[in-house]
Amino acid sequence: MTERVHPDIEKVLISEDEIRAKITELAAAITGDYGDDGVLLVGVLKGAFVFMADLARSLSIPIDFDFMAVSSYGTATKSSGVVRILKDLDYEVTGRHVLLVEDIVDSGLTISYLLRYLKARRPASLEICSLLWKQGQQAVPFEVKYAGFVIPSVFVVGYGLDFAERYRNLPYIGVLRPEAYGGESPR
Ligand code: IMP
């Protein structure tokens, strides 16, 4: 498919077609693992909403949806080290199979906080599905069972990911031109 690339994007790192193919692969693995038991998808807002919508529509097993909103980054894009819960789960997760859906695992601060938080509520199982994984950037390594793409440590936008709340609606994952963030790279 020909994509009209946004003028602020220096390079498309992962195309729309590549994302679609990867989601089909991830969905097949998730469908095979959970089967008729189904799974509760817990999306981490805001970034995961685009990925979760496409992933969910590729799954043919019973699923429920819930969302959490946390803040670990403001518009400043540097990890503050502090994860604050802005929106908690609507449902009880005790005894349920839970799959945390993330857009990107970078320092891993956000996801490791959420893992601890959710584990304390004793789910039947708890796994991570992240579209992007900056592998090796995590202070404490942990398993991302369903990982889409391992990417280098560059700041990316699109497909739910933002810079200062912009670019979330781009259908691909791209690297911003330095002019778009005013010189120094956010990561
Ligand atoms: P972590 O806590 O450092 O793993 O970061 C997780 C959150 O930081 C993600 O859910 C994103 O919202 C944001 N983030 C990390 N890297 C990027 C990036 O390259 N582009 C946009 N947002 C990012």
Q: What is the pLDDT of residue 187?
A: 60
β-pair partners for 70:
85
Q: Is the peptide bond before 46 cis (omega within 30 degrees of 0)?
A: yes
**What DSSP character marks residue 78?**
S
CA 135 to ligand 1 centroid distance, Å: 13
Answer yes or no: is the C-beta of 156 below 6 A from any ligand 1 atom.
yes
Answer yes or no: is the C-beta of 107 below 6 A from any ligand 1 atom.
yes
Tokens coding 20: 């679609």
Residue 142 burial by Cβ neighbours in a 10 Å radius (0-12, 13-18, 19+): exposed
CATH number 3.40.50.2020 is the correct assignment for the domain at 9-173: yes
**What DSSP character marks residue 35?**
G
CA 85 to ligand 1 centroid distance, Å: 16
Angle 87-93-97 from CA coordinates, rounded to 5°? 120
Residue nearest to atom 19 of ligand 1 (CA): 155
| 106 tagged catalytic | yes
What is the Cα–Cα distance from 43 to 59, expressed in whole angstroms? 15
CA 80 to ligand 1 centroid distance, Å: 11
Answer yes or no: is the C-beta of 127 below 6 A from any ligand 1 atom.
no
This prediction has a pTM of 0.91
Q: What is the pLDDT of residue 185?
A: 65
Residue nearest to atom 12 of ligand 1 (CA): 47
Tokens coding 63: 């699923």
**Ligand 1 closest atom vs CA 103:** 10
Catalytic annotation, pick one of 33, 54, 103, 106 = 106
Q: What is the pLDDT of residue 20?
A: 98
pLDDT along the chain (187 residues), means of 10: 80 97 98 96 96 97 96 57 87 96 92 93 97 83 91 94 95 92 70
Dihedral sign for Cα atoms in the order 155, 40, 66, 30: positive
Q: What is the pLDDT of residue 4?
A: 81
Side chain identity at residue 168, one-letter code:
R
Instruction: Parse the chain into domains and list their residue ranges.
Output: 9-173
Q: What is the pLDDT of residue 75?
A: 47
**Ligand 1 closest atom vs CA 138:** 4
Tokens coding 100: 């945390």
What is the Cα–Cα distance from 182 to 184, expressed in whole angstroms? 6
